[in-house]
Amino acid sequence: MSPSASYKPGDTALILGATEGMSSFVSSLLKDPASLHAISTISIENPDRTGETGDEEEARLGRPQEEFDADMAEFSRSLIALLDAIHQGGKLKAFKWTGETLGAKTRRPVEFWPALWKHANTLEKLELDFCVREVENFIPPSTPIPLLTTLRLDVGSAHGDNGSTLNPLLAACPAVKNLTLSLPTCDLEGCRIQKLDWAWTYPALTTLSLSVFSEPFAPVTAFLARHPGIATLTWGADTDWNETTEADALPSTILPNLTALNVNSRPSGLDALLSEEAGRNITHFRDAYFGPSAEIFKIAAALRCLELQPHCRSWRPEDPLDSDDSDEPEDPGERAPGRLAALLPKLPELQELAVEFDTGAAFYRWGPENAFQNAPAMDARDLESVIEILPAESKLRVLRVVDDRAEELGVGEVDFRGVPVGLEYIKWEGKRRVLYKLEREEGGVRLVECQEGLRVVGTEEKGGWTEGRVLVF
């Protein structure tokens, strides 16, 4: 098996998805200097295990620890040789090592880090996931990484770890524009990452994704205050707000340029971010929780784009086999469609709406077999169910429906009776993303596939949560 299923000589991007055959693959590549020096991106990701049975997975993950360590050592030796060779005559601009290359049961050898930092002068994008206890043995760069504009660190497994080794790395990247920090969110003192100093400053920072439980919270607040240019924020930071001091509080003066906010949970600090006193011009709001919508009303006047991710069971008609033991019928107004139908008329400037079904996110009892399984993938009926609750008159121009498990939309299957007159586009984001324009003729509506989007997605936005937006605000 080759560690790279897609690489061809001369490609600028090398994607590695398996450890098997790494040594022979690299040995062959080292004999082709022209192809070797053309590589500017290395990405190590989860291997494709489609078709792997449960028994095969159990056997793979149940191997002795010594085998995992030996595999990682061999893989890393080959990777170090590759990095050294590229350094001799090439220019590595992007490096990514994420996922569970070996099942998250082993760590990278310390020799790997100096080999990576040889490319500090050319790196523009760096993405790293850390295994359990790995951060304490991490070797940071000893020189700046002057061109790095995108930095993503997932250290969510570093419960109780000494994170001081990360401080030099975070301080070595003065040009960062896009920063992702996924840190432990456990509120128990022994589970939090230790000794992060939060003293780093990035004058060009515009996009931040932050997950952490920090107590005290003052260092996080001070970090945010030093970065007034943040325009796009994914917020997962929390603390014990009952124990906070004045220094911990999020003042209304921070984040004055925030326009796009994504929340994946309900951290208590959300009220401060959406405070009317702050007057932040938040035009794009993504809510992966979609519970009571009181917070959204605070930004209703400015909101142009709203993205919601209701649970399938809260959106679709209840499956009798998936109900609880209560004999009381559920109030339709409490289900997601009812809540959204009540909310939309109160968002007078809304122009774009996205509903994310994400049927692959959880297993639960569904269907006649009464077995734990994924919900059926999104189909035309889900699109119709959203269209049904749209206000007849509003400024809404774009509707997006999202589920990466969905097949292509059969446009002839959709009933467009009652579609609002002002709706211009529907974007179907399944296995294939397609933007359709609604054309009205002879009293009917038909979908016409658009060959190009309505806006150019910037480099810094690609892969981010705002990438799918259709309109320019």
Dump the DSSP string for 378-432.
P-HHHHHHHHTTS-SSSS--EEEEE-TT-----GGG---TT--TT--EEEEESSS
Q: Is 76 helix (H, G, I), strand (E, B) or coil?
A: helix
Is the CB of residue 455 less than 8 Å from the CB of residue 470? Answer: yes
CA 331 to chain centre: 33
Q: How many residues are given for the chain?
A: 473
Is the CB of residue 401 less than 8 Å from the CB of residue 378? Answer: yes
C-alpha triplet 337, 433, 376: angle, nearest 5°: 50
pLDDT of residue 423: 96
Residue ranges per structural domain of the chain: 283-473
Six-digit token pair at 469?
A: 């937006």
Q: Report the alpha-carbon distance of residue 439 to residue 437 in Å, rounded.
A: 6
Dump the DSSP string for 89-126.
H----EEEE-S-TTTT-S---TTHHHHHHTTTTT--EE
Dump the DSSP string for 243-305.
G--TTTS--TTS-TT--EEEESS--TTHHHHT-TTTT----EEEESS----HHHHTTTTT--E
Question: What H or E segment, with its residue span, contains residue 242?
Answer: none
Q: In the chain, what is the straight-line distance between the N-terminal and C-terminal CA atoms, in Å?
A: 48
pLDDT of residue 320: 44
pLDDT of residue 325: 47
The one-digit pLDDT tens for each residue of the chain (473 residues) are: 567 667 899 999 999 876 778 899 999 999 999 999 999 999 998 766 666 677 777 777 778 878 888 888 888 999 999 999 999 999 999 999 987 655 555 688 999 999 999 999 999 999 999 988 888 889 999 999 999 999 999 998 887 788 899 999 999 999 999 999 998 888 777 777 888 999 999 999 999 999 988 878 889 999 999 999 999 999 988 877 666 667 667 889 999 999 999 987 666 678 888 888 888 999 999 987 776 556 788 888 899 999 998 888 788 876 544 444 444 445 555 788 998 999 999 999 999 999 999 888 756 665 566 666 778 899 999 999 999 999 999 999 999 999 999 999 987 778 888 899 999 999 999 999 999 999 988 778 889 999 877 787 777 677 789 999 999 97
pLDDT of residue 449: 92
